[in-house]
């Protein structure tokens, strides 16, 4: 049953792609507060890395981007989103804390990233892959803009996990299990998509070097540029 609900929601989100204005405002008010521990979790995984240039794909309200700016001091940081409403909210949030001049917020489609090839050390994306209509094109774009030693960290929620894992995640993220499971069902990609589904297929077609890490309710897809794409 959850699989079916997930498939329907993912299909709808891939069709709509960008978050419309009403939902963007709601997301800003409720979603980002709820997701705060997830952003902190992503940040913890970044600790100790030295990064010059960062791109966030599907930056939404810019909350994570601004946190990354605060802890990593990159030379350049870019947030990209297809939703005009989200980009406006991200701009407002960066102005509010006086960081507007330090971030580039661009209205663009992740299927066509308007950034110079080989120029980004770190690509971050949270909760956006399930919106992407054509992951193969996205992975090609990612491989193209990543610098030689760069990597992309693409996070999604996955609902197809054990009860024990859900319990652990609930403790780690300080959110009720039922709510986490619901979020992962409505806004996520099951693990099986990385193992045998359309995500695996797209990764294989593009030929990037990648690893998938299952961290409870969170799935991390780590992409490194492959030697072939780097030399092309």
Least distance from C-beta 58 to ligand SAM, angstroms? 3
Distance separating alpha carbons of residues 15 and 199, to the nearest angstrom: 16
Tell me the per-residue interface mask from 36 to 75 with ligand SAM, x by CB under 6 A, - otherwise.
Answer: ----------------------xxx---------------
Among 110, 153, 202, 203, contact with ligand SAM (rule: CB under 6 A): 110
Distance separating alpha carbons of residues 94 and 201, to the nearest angstrom: 37
Asked if residue 18 binds ligand SAM (CB under 6 A), the reply is yes
The backbone torsions φ and ψ at residue 25, rounded to the nearest 5 degrees and listed phi first, read: -65, -40
Q: Which residue, 132 or 217, has its beta carbon nearer to ligand SAM?
A: 132
β-partners of residue 221 are 154, 212
Closest CA to 194 of 122, 144, 135: 135
| End-to-end Cα, the chain, rounded Å | 44
Token pair in block for residue 117: 């090839």
Tell me the per-residue interface mask from 187 to 206 with ligand SAM, x by CB under 6 A, - otherwise.
Answer: x-------------------
Asked if residue 82 binds ligand SAM (CB under 6 A), the reply is yes
DSSP character at residue 30: I
Asked if residue 28 binds ligand SAM (CB under 6 A), the reply is no
Residues that bind ligand SAM (CB under 6 A): 17-19, 32, 35, 58-60, 80-83, 86, 109-111, 126-128, 131-132, 187
């Amino acid at each position: 049953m959850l699989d079916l609900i997930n498939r329907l929601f993912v299909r709808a989100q891939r069709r709509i792609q960008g978050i419309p204005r009403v939902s963007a405002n709601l997301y800003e008010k409720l979603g980002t507060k709820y997701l705060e521990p997830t952003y902190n979790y992503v940040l913890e995984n970044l600790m100790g890395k030295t990064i010059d240039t960062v791109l966030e794909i599907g930056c939404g309200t810019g909350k994570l981007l601004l946190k990354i700016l605060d802890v990593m001091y990159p030379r350049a940081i870019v947030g990209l989103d297809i939703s005009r409403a989200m980009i406006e909210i991200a701009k407002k949030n960066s102005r509010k804390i006086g960081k507007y001049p330090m971030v580039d917020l661009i209205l663009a489609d992740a299927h066509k990233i308007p950034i110079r090839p080989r120029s980004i050390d770190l690509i971050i994306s949270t909760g956006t892959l399930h919106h992407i209509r054509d992951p193969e094109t996205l992975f090609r774009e990612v491989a193209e803009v990543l610098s030689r030693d760069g990597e992309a960290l693409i996070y999604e929620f996955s609902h197809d996990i054990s009860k024990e894992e859900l319990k652990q995640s609930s403790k780690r993220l300080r959110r009720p299990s039922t709510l986490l499971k619901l979020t992962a069902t409505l806004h996520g990609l099951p693990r099986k998509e990385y193992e045998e589904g359309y995500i695996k297929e797209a990764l294989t077609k593009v030929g990037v070097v990648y690893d998938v890490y299952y961290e409870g309710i969170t799935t991390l897809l780590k992409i490194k540029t492959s030697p072939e794409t780097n030399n092309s």
